[in-house]
Amino acid sequence: MIDENFRGNIYIVQNGKVLYESVSGFADLPNEIPNTLDTKFASASAGKVFVAVGILQLIEQEKIRFDDTIGSLLAIPFHDIDKDVTVRQLLNHTSGVPDYFDESVMDEYEELWTDYPNYKIRHNSDLLPLFINKPMIYPKGEKFQYNNSGYVLLAMILEKVTGMYFDQYLKEHIFDRCGMESTGYFELDKLPAKCANHYIYCADTNDYRTNIFSVDVKGTGAGGAFITVKDIVSFWVNLLEGNLLSKALVSEMLKKQSGDGADEEEGYYGYGMWIIDNPDGRDFAYFQGCDPGVSFLSEYNPNNGMISVLVSNYGDNVWKEMRNLRKIYYEWCDCREKR
């Protein structure tokens, strides 16, 4: 079912019951310290979902509105960026703000640090020099295009409105509430215990190097949270039970808000979540992340109550593994429920 060369953790539950768990690979390769179920992994862009929940909490508390503009919420020089871009457009990636890592024109994330050292990135505002002076990439609201800068701006809005660093807010209002004791935004030069190193394969020398010079030294609104697979399950459970947001707002979060579904596997976008169209039932929701040495995917199937979490600290193909899991577990669960 799972590629024998996969390195990382896979954890699948259904209605509170563990269906499958797999732990493989080394958290520390040279010292051969193995990964465990308690290993903390980087999750790259997956952290956008936490920022989305934080913003939706503020909306629910009527501290901000979907249609509030970045110009009214943030006191920073926008230059050629449209100040009338709304919170909703940032959430669903239709803002058109310049993306500091535009995946349509850039191949490797570590290209960002050629002229701007990654160790400078410890707060959201540290990323502003990478995009604030650039023009809009298209008129606001015109189309969907995945955008990292948009979630940096959302995290800055979170900080402006609450008076807290965004990661402190997320800890108090999401992680602590969900019992996610191992999840947080940690600096690469001050990692706590049980954090995995993340490895990049070097073809020229046939060995591995860590990604410490390839990613932000600390996560931002665009991503970078360290997680455990069990913590992610706790997040899903609390989100779906209405412990973080009203169930009505959770439904909006997990509904198609943008995108055209041209790529059936990628699907559409909600708020902080990707949505896969399911003509035979309720749509699947997932969030994901990919950085040098990092791959993460977690999916919820509302038709059978399954939550899947896959993460690798070697950048292994979690998407391929999830396709295999869908074929086996979704069909198996459907057959079992029909008996």
Is 26 or 101 the better-scoring residue by pLDDT? 26
What's the pLDDT tens digit per position in 23-35?
A: 999 999 999 999 9
What tokens appear for 186 in the block?
A: 């940690």
Rounded to 10 deg, the angle between the 148-162 and 48-60 helix axes is 40
pLDDT of residue 171: 98
pLDDT of residue 339: 43
Residue 21 lies in a domain: yes
Residue 2 lies in a domain: no
Total structural domains within the chain: 1
In degrees and rounded to multiples of 5, residue 216 shows phi and psi of -55, 140
Which residues, 6 or more positions from 84, have their beta carbon under 8 angstroms from its beta carbon? Answer: 69, 70, 71, 140
Q: The whole model's pTM is what?
A: 0.95
For the chain, how many residues are written?
339
pLDDT of residue 109: 82
Residue 216 lies in a domain: yes
State the Cα–Cα distance between residues 206 and 121, nearest whole angstrom.
30
Mean pLDDT of 159-179: 98
Residue 3 lies in a domain: no
What's the pLDDT tens digit per position in 328-339?
A: 888 765 544 444
pLDDT of residue 338: 47
Instruction: Give the domain range for residue 286.
Output: 8-338
Residue 258 lies in a domain: yes
Mean pLDDT of 278-303: 96
Whole-Å CA distances, 292 to 71, 209, 212, 277, 322: 34, 10, 10, 29, 20
106, pLDDT greater than 80:
no
pLDDT of residue 114: 79
SS3 of residue 301 by DSSP: strand
State the Cα–Cα distance between residues 181 and 244, nearest whole angstrom.
16
Residue 69 lies in a domain: yes
Q: How does the average pLDDT of the chain come out, rounded?
A: 95
104, pLDDT greater than 80:
no
Residue 198 lies in a domain: yes
State the Cα–Cα distance between residues 320 and 230, nearest whole angstrom.
21
Mean pLDDT of 294-317: 97
Q: What is the percentage of the chain residues whose pLDDT exceeds 70?
A: 96
pLDDT of residue 332: 62
Residue 1 lies in a domain: no
Task: Indicate which CATH number applies to the domain containing 296.
Answer: 3.40.710.10
What's the pLDDT tens digit per position in 39-96?
A: 999 999 999 999 999 999 999 999 999 999 999 999 999 999 999 999 999 999 999 9
Mean pLDDT of 163-176: 98
Is 10 or 114 the better-scoring residue by pLDDT? 10
102, pLDDT greater than 90:
no
120, pLDDT greater than 60:
yes
Let me know: does 44 contact 223? Beta carbons within 8 Å.
Answer: yes
